[in-house]
Structure 1
Amino acid sequence: MTDGLKSKFERVMIIDDSIPDLYISSRMITKNNFAKQVLEYSSPKEALIYLKENQESTELLPEIIIVDIYMPLMSGFEFLEEYNKLSTVLQKYSKVFIISSTIDDSDIIRARNYPNVVSFQVKPITREFLNRIQND
């Protein structure tokens, strides 16, 4: 993290079953002073537990949620279905961004059709992607 600069966000959540991708994304976020805290989850189910437990407490919620599409046991799409059932407090507070290594147009269109998804990003997370989020 860059000393003396204020982070744009308090908390960002990353959900990705790939441990190397999770690490790289987290480092990119901290290195670019994007968030003070990164909540890392390799399991969408565990991330949902955290969100459910804290859905009414904005001081504990991530302002940004970055979720991969293709994961075992629960895909990013299944995560979004469950996320859509959570409180409106959470859904208004947290912005969801999809990341994936897919270049399949049908996946990109499907991800963008979810009402809570702000945008889609092909992996890896880049400084430019973070800047776009920051400037929204």
Structure 2
Amino acid sequence: MIDQKIKFKRVMLIDDDTIDLYIASRIITNNNFAEKIDKYTSAIKALLFLQENQDNYALLPEVIFVDIYMPLMTGFEFMVEYDKLSSDFKKLCKVYIISSSIDENDIKRANEDCNVIAFQVKTITKEFLNSIL
């Protein structure tokens, strides 16, 4: 019965800050938002997983939360590579930029990306999760 309350089978969290990753995963779990949470501290590793499995929908997330400022590959660089994934996968997956940045340029850039549903200032909240259909 508890499965009926869970919104999504899988979500992916990408954030180099392990504390933010932990807090977001706890909020997602406590609000029955997802059955499975794939956590990545590296956007490169998350991207590799998506590239290797883009045709295996059972392994892929329905929602991705990605931070902007990370070493080696930023959230914006991740989104450039994400755009190259299969269009079928991208139709099934919703991407949200999650950041502590309140820089208007970051918000504008995120909102202009056709693959980004919305920009959310950290941290993820129950209200924010409830707004995602």
TM-score > 0.5, shorter chain as reference: yes
Q: Distance in 1 between matches of 2:107 and 2:53?
A: 29
Q: What's the TM-score, normalizing by structure 1?
A: 0.94
Shift of 1:27: 0.6
Root-mean-square deviation (Å): 1.3
2:47 alignment partner, SS class:
helix
Gaps of 5+ in 2: none
TM-score (norm 2): 0.96
Q: In structure 2, what residue type is equivalent to 1:110?
A: R
2:2 counterpart of 1:11: no
CA distance in 1, matches of 2:83, 2:7: 25
Q: Deviations over 1:18-44 (max 9, x none)?
A: 000000000100110000000000000
In the alignment, structure 1 segments of 5+ residues that lack a partner are: none
SS of the residue 2:98 aligns to: strand
* Secondary structure at the counterpart of residue 125 of structure 1: coil
Other-structure match for 1:119: 118
Distance 2:46 2:52 in 1: 10
Give the % identical residues.
58
Aligned residues: 133
**In 2: Cα distance, 1:107 partner to 1:54 partner:** 29
2:69 is the counterpart of 1:88: no
Cα shift at 1:5: 5.0
Alignment of 1:43-62 (within 5 A): 43-62=42-61
| Equivalent pair of 1:8/1:34 in contact (CA under 8 Å) | yes
1:90 CA displacement: 1.5
Q: How much has 1:6 moved relative to structure 2?
A: 2.8
Please identify which structure carries the higher helix content: 2
